[in-house]
Structure 1
């Protein structure tokens, strides 16, 4: 039997995130953007700091899709970040980390990558 040693941090109630929007949370000193996509509780978490702008703004970006990729468009430079991987579509050198996120007892939990 293995023990899960992942450090999970509760950030908010799952119902606090409206469908197709994001929120920002400070997790162990890291600004994390958590997104709820669709009306179910499909959640994604990436770094919130836009690497090009050096501003904590990705949680305020527009959620959408490019082909089969679910993305958020940065509100500043409009770069698209894949919510599954954190990859910046237009400039891969500006990619961010993707974090593990889950819902437990109605609370959103994040574990840093």
Structure 2
């Protein structure tokens, strides 16, 4: 009966001779520079398609009118100048809508005067 030697189960493992997957590959054009990014991946930041145009809400009117006629109607009016009002009930909400409209014509944040330019 012939006995073959068993492979060693313990001991140092052999190190691979090629580059490991953690090292960057050399550039394809042979320039010597390392290729750091995968092909097809954008390496620069693109502009935000929803860019900020600088506009901000200055005044807001929010009305809640449930479908049932017997349910109470509520509304709130808000402006960045500090104007803030609320109302409950149909007559009060109608008055608040009118007050919100009146405030839009008198608010210092919304009115722009070009009188000085026109006189010059």
Using the size of structure 1 for normalisation, the TM-score is: 0.24
Structure with bigger RCO (C-alpha 8 Å, 6+ apart): 1
| Higher fraction of helix | 2
Give TM-score, length-normalised by structure 2.
0.23
- By percentage of residues, which structure has more strand? 1
